Amino acid sequence: MEEGNLAGKKPVTLKTIGEKLNISATAVSKALRGDRSISEETTRKVKKLVEELNYRPNSIAKSLRTNETKTLGLVISDSTLSLFAPVIEGVEKVASEKGYSIILADAHSNVEKEKEAVRTLVSHRIDGFMLATSMLTGEEHKSFLDSFGIPYLFLLRKCEYESGNYVINDNVYGTCQMINHLIKTNSKRIHFINIAKSITTAAERERGYREALEANGIAFDKSIVYNVNPSFDEGYHQMSHILDAGEPVETVFCGCDMIAVGAMNSIIEKGYRIPEDIRLASYDDIEFAKYLRVPLTTVRQPKYRIGELGAQMLIEMITKDKDLHIDVVLKPELVLREST
Amino acid sequence: MEEGNLAGKKPVTLKTIGEKLNISATAVSKALRGDRSISEETTRKVKKLVEELNYRPNSIAKSLRTNETKTLGLVISDSTLSLFAPVIEGVEKVASEKGYSIILADAHSNVEKEKEAVRTLVSHRIDGFMLATSMLTGEEHKSFLDSFGIPYLFLLRKCEYESGNYVINDNVYGTCQMINHLIKTNSKRIHFINIAKSITTAAERERGYREALEANGIAFDKSIVYNVNPSFDEGYHQMSHILDAGEPVETVFCGCDMIAVGAMNSIIEKGYRIPEDIRLASYDDIEFAKYLRVPLTTVRQPKYRIGELGAQMLIEMITKDKDLHIDVVLKPELVLREST
DNA sequence: ATGAAAGCGCTAACAC
DNA sequence: GTGTTAGCGCTTTCAT
């Protein structure tokens, strides 16, 4: 038996240890936590027995007593796990370093399921939670989220009210930089297949797009801006519609990489070359953007960093100041590849 | 206030509810769990108040009492999240349907960290756990894993001892099918860039490779079989070495998609065409295999299904029979794309 | 049909 | 230095 309590045997508790040593469970508890009021002698004996019996503290009991579980909830929306994966890694890294575990819940891109996910997390008495690309960013959900009296923050997507906490990248800046770059490199007319308007990010990216056009004296043309769900299929179909309409297409900027992958396939299928005939760029820089048929020019969201900072800020809120206002906006970076 | 206990206010418990209704906490508890010994009248009143006060049961307290937490541990190895993502989704789906939550732990591709991850999960008193592409598949770790007296199983990767539980795909069959297909379509000499030997999967895939060669009367040539870590970089470098050596390369089969992506880039960089000059195939079918520079022919592991079945089997072990022996081997499927 | 009491394993407050 | 008591919120007996 290497460690732990063997199946079937009754678990080792503080009391078990105390009985064997003829001291109280309290003393054992104190000894284990290094309380100086316990003699060195006793502490030594306790630690030895703990080792021998492979005692593992019952964190459930501890949590009930101390009212903290050392767990963080992470709600994700399943649409694009390729976007979440690095965020999860970043969260997990910081959390585990600070002694927290992650309980994962999937919202399945559905408001009701997301609320249910939060309720489930709360019933597990997580110390705080994070919402990645949440659908609950609107003011109307604020009271729901606040009602639990637990710190929380948004990752990747901003909430719509002033007082909310979030860790995001600067979508206006990133888009503006990219559009600016495209214009400087000879794109005059840029089709924009943006993500759906229901997502707060969409408005920010549109703003960046408009600002860049304006700065370069190009008129905004509503008729070449589209909004679709962030999926391969919708990107593919929207691009096909545009191409089928027969109007000249010079440059396409997509609101996220998954849309761009769909658009890319449509463009290639119809016999156009990228970037010779049509230049293509987008946003996110998911892992495989560089491995696509044509490596994709895109704006890199610091996903891993967002995860790290999110966990760090949340733990800050939990341990230091519940009312901390988190408003972290990271600068994204242009990644120029062959698609432009 | 929409629901939950407001920040600052003291939490609503069974006792709170009981006091308002002038009944005992016990009665409230029973009413909530639909115990027939409580009158309809009372049950109705309890439910109404629960709604009003937004009572949420404290699952920590419940767990302490009942000795079950309704949580499942999932240990992943961070090497290729693109491989895990669908597995996690499958696990989460089944788990949440059955009322379980997932605690995630990352082993960071490191044996000691993986053991530490398991210990952390156990200290949270998870009801069972899963190890995805674990490094603890060897006999020497069995007693460690068994010592906690908690059901567990392996996902994606098999343990090396008879009595262990796992949900995997048939690597011998999958590889054999693919190699067989390649041979039938005119490949006679197939370079094999397999994953590292330390991974149990490697041996299975090599066996499939050898069986297919043998069945087709082709001699096994040790000199064109390589073992590298499953990463882009190692695939890229191994392929470059082979190409630089100047020997003729006709067909390359990689032990996993990430290696193939690296190999693909090397092949293209050196000016060869896929599949005209070199045919390329591999194993896994990660999400972006179909979006690569050259869409990849590969063996599809049923990743989502493995997650679903894993969670289902584990819950079975937890609720029905601790000693259930799980030995699920799913048949993979060939996916033929442009790289061959 | 309802309640009182005990206890899950732990920690905190306060004795001695 | 160490022990006693109490209680976190819940469920489970066993009375009534």
Q: Are A101 and B89 a contacting pair at CB < 8 A?
A: no
List pLDDT tens digits, range B251-277: 999 999 999 999 999 999 999 999 999
CB proximity A38–strand D (7 Å threshold): yes
Domain that holds residue B36: 14-57
Domain shared by A95 and A33, yes or no: no
Whether residue A196 sits in one domain with residue A142: no
The pLDDT of residue A137 is above 50: yes
Q: How confident is the model at residue A1 (pLDDT cuts 50, 70, 90)?
A: very low
Residue A339, in any domain of the structure: no
Instruction: Give, as ranges, the nucleotides of chain D with any atom within 7 Å of a protein CB.
Output: 1-5, 7-13
Beta-ladder partners of A76: A106
pLDDT tens digits along B53-82: 888 899 999 999 999 999 999 999 866 677
Q: What angle do CA A182, A218, A285 make, to 5 degrees?
A: 30
pLDDT in tens, A31-54: 998 888 888 889 999 999 998 888
Nearest nucleotide (C1') to alpha carbon of A35: D1
Closest residue in B to A103 (Cα–Cα): B103
Please check whether residue A127 lies inside any domain of the structure. yes
Q: Is A40 exposed, middle or buried (0-12, 13-18, 19+ CB in 10 A)?
A: exposed
Question: Is the same domain home to A147 and A191?
Answer: no
Q: A12 CA to C6 C1', in Å?
A: 21
SS3 content of chain B, % helix, strand, coil (to 5): 45, 15, 35
**What average pLDDT does the structure give for chain A?**
92
pTM over 0.75: yes
Mean pLDDT of chain B: 92
Instruction: Please check whether residue B210 is in contact with residue B272, taking contact to mean a CB–CB distance below 8 angstroms.
Output: no
Rounded CA-CA distance B250/B252 in Å is 7
Q: How far apart are CA B246 and CA A172, in angstroms?
A: 50
Q: Looking at CA atoms only, how far is residue A56 from chain B in angstroms?
A: 7
Distance A75 CA to C7 C1' (A): 35
Protein CA A56 to sugar C1' D3 (Å): 23
Position A9 in a domain: no
Burial of B271 (0-12, 13-18, 19+ CB in 10 A): exposed
Retrieve residue B280's tokens: 């390329």
> How many whole angstroms separate alpha carbon A222 and alpha carbon A217?
16
List the single protein residue with the shortest CA to C1' distance from D9: B61
Report yes or no on B335 lying in a domain.
no
Give strand letter and number of the nucleotide nearest A65 (CA to C1'): D8
Going by pLDDT thresholds of 50, 70 and 90, the confidence category of residue A4 is: very low
Distance from CA of A229 to the nearest CA of B (A): 18
Question: Which amino acid type is present at position B53?
Answer: L
- Which of A88, A115, A116, A145 is the best residue to mutate to test the B interface, defined by the most B CB atoms within 10 Å of its own CB? A88
Tell how far CA A312 is from the center of its chain: 13
Asked if residue A197 and residue A102 are part of one domain, the reply reads no
Strands laid side by side in the B190-195 sheet: B225-228, B190-195, B251-254, B279-284, B297-300, B333-335
A86: nearest CA in chain B? Answer: B81
Number of other CB atoms surrounding residue A174 within 10 Å: 24
Same structural domain, A260 and A276:
yes
B46 touches strand D (CB under 7 A): no
Q: Looking at the structure, do residues A50 and A72 belong to the same domain, yes or no?
A: no
Q: In what order do the strands lie in the sheet with A333-335?
A: A225-228, A190-195, A251-254, A279-284, A297-300, A333-335
Domain for residue B2, yes or no?
no
Q: Judging by DSSP bridges, how do beta strands B101-106 and A101-106 pair with one another? A: antiparallel
Kindly report the nearest CA distance between residue A64 and chain B, in angstroms: 6
Å separating the CA of residue B93 from the C1' of nucleotide D8: 33
Q: Which nucleotide does the CA of A30 lie closest to, via C1'?
A: C11
B163 and B184: one domain? no
Mean pLDDT to the nearest integer, A78-92: 84
Q: Return the closest-CA partner of residue A75 out of A30, A27, A131, A147.
A: A131
Tell me, yes or no, whether B89 and B177 share the same domain.
no
Residues B194 and B284 in one domain: yes
Residue B166 bridge partners (DSSP): B154, B327
Asked if B311 and B325 sit in the same domain, the reply is yes
- Does B149 reside within a domain? yes
What secondary structure letter does DSSP report for B289?
G
User: Quick one: A89 and A127 in the same domain?
Assistant: yes
- In a mutational test of the A interface, the residue from B259, B288, B290, B324 whose CB has the highest number of chain A CBs within 10 Å is B288
Q: Which residues of B touch A291 (CB under 8 A)?
A: 261, 264-265, 288, 291-293
CATH number of the domain within which A200 lies? 3.40.50.2300
**Measuring from the CA of residue B37 to each C1', which nucleotide is nearest?**
C1
How many domains does chain A contain in total? 3
Q: How far apart are CA B11 and CA B19, in angstroms?
A: 14
> Is B267 part of any domain?
yes
User: Among the three residues B57, B76, B108, which one is the final residue of a domain in this structure?
Assistant: B57
Answer for the pair A74, A103: CB distance below 8 angstroms, yes or no. Answer: yes
| The predicted structure's pLDDT at residue A188 | 93
Inform me whether the pLDDT recorded for B4 exceeds 70: no
C-alpha distances out from residue A5 to A55, A224, A292, B79, B121, Å: 7, 66, 50, 31, 15
Tell me what pLDDT residue A5 has: 41
pLDDT tens figures, B304-327: 999 999 999 999 999 988 889 999
Chain-chain contact of A8 with B149 (C-beta, under 8 angstroms): yes
The verdict on a CB contact (< 8 Å) between B61 and A64 is yes
Task: Return d(Cα B195, Cα B201) in angstroms, integer.
Answer: 8
Instruction: Please check whether residue B340 lies inside any domain of the structure.
Output: no
pLDDT digits (tens, 9 = 90+) for B233-248: 999 999 999 999 998 9
Are B161 and B308 in a shared domain? yes
CB contact under 8 A, B120 and A103: no
Look at residues B31, B95, B121, B146 and name the one whose alpha carbon lies nearest to residue B310.
Answer: B95
What pLDDT does residue B7 have?
46
What's the confidence (pLDDT) of residue A79? 61
